[in-house]
Amino acid sequence: MRRVYCIGRNYAAHAVEMGHDPDREPPFFFQKNPNNLDSTGEFPYPRHSSDVHHEVELLVALKSGGPNISIDKALNHVWGYAISLDMTRRDLQGEAKKLGRPWEIGKAFERSGPVGPLNAADKIGHLSQGRIALKVYGALKQEGDLNQMIRKVPEMISYLSEYFELKAGDVIMSGTPSGVGAVARGDMMEATIDGLGSLVVKVV
Ligand code: MN
């Protein structure tokens, strides 16, 4: 893993639930740290927050990169896909937003990116539609369709490649559908994306 790019407010319904107008405020990027990604199946509730939220997201892993990648060639750089969670200290992120500060304290903390196994695009194809959902203890919390992304995967790759040099090992977390909410210790989160199966993560 080289870099972790994350997109904010990439599903209109989620932008609205966070109090924003997706027509006036287009999606934007921030980063987590590569070693924040975690495949242990456990998410330790972090310190300094009492409002930690789940955000289920499609993770896109690149096998190559470069500058100035065109939209129509972008998928040639994709190695595969995984289910991921952009766990967020919402209270700390909210304070940072209010003060115009960066988001790291809310987004880039230890083990803030639970992730499932990578699936090769060679085998499963590219994912541009399909259900994305998250349940907590069997109760449906988040639900959407990959085709609701405002910036599609090829557009994200092309856009990022204008500002950064993308390389093999970079991953993109492609945003979350609506229904984000708080978790508590002991919760069992089950994230699903059509074509990728499911990812179960326990909050400990
Ligand atoms: Mn997110």
Å from CA of 124 to ligand 1 middle: 24
Q: Answer for the pair 203, 185: CB distance below 8 angstroms, yes or no.
A: yes
Q: Answer for the pair 52, 183: CB distance below 8 angstroms, yes or no.
A: yes
pLDDT band at 27 (very low <50, low <70, confident <90, very high): confident
Q: Is the pLDDT of residue 172 over 90?
A: yes
Å from CA of 176 to ligand 1 middle: 5
What confidence score (pLDDT) does residue 84 get? 98
Å from CA of 78 to ligand 1 middle: 20
Q: Answer for the pair 130, 123: CB distance below 8 angstroms, yes or no.
A: no
Rg (C-alpha) for the chain, rounded Å, is 16
pLDDT in tens, 139-155: 999 999 999 999 999 99
CB half-sphere exposure, 9, CA atoms < 13 A? 14
pLDDT band at 22 (very low <50, low <70, confident <90, very high): confident
Topology (CATH) of 4-203: Fumarylacetoacetate hydrolase; domain 2 (3.90.850)
Q: H-type helices in 36-163, by residue range?
A: 90-99, 104-107, 121-124, 153-163
pLDDT in tens, 82-114: 999 999 999 999 999 999 999 999 999 999 999
Distance (Å, whole) CA 132 – CA 157: 20
What confidence score (pLDDT) does residue 136 get? 98
pLDDT in tens, 53-81: 999 999 999 999 999 999 999 999 999 99
**CA 109 to the chain's CA centroid:** 14
Whole-prediction pTM: 0.97
Candidates 8, 32, 31, 6; CA nearest to 172 is 6
Distance (Å, whole) CA 42 – CA 45: 9
Å from CA of 77 to ligand 1 middle: 22
What confidence score (pLDDT) does residue 82 get? 98
What confidence score (pLDDT) does residue 143 get? 97
What average pLDDT does range 32-49 have in this prediction? 98
> Would you kindly state where each structural domain of the chain is located, as residue ranges?
4-203
Q: Helix, strand, coil: what percent of the chain each, to 5?
A: 25, 35, 40
What average pLDDT does range 22-44 have in this prediction? 94
Å from CA of 151 to ligand 1 middle: 13
Distance (Å, whole) CA 195 – CA 187: 25
Q: Is the pLDDT of residue 35 over 90?
A: yes
What confidence score (pLDDT) does residue 32 get? 98
Å from CA of 82 to ligand 1 middle: 14
Å from CA of 14 to ligand 1 middle: 10
Distance (Å, whole) CA 147 – CA 79: 20
pLDDT band at 24 (very low <50, low <70, confident <90, very high): confident
pLDDT in tens, 116-140: 999 999 999 999 999 999 999 999 9
What confidence score (pLDDT) does residue 85 get? 98
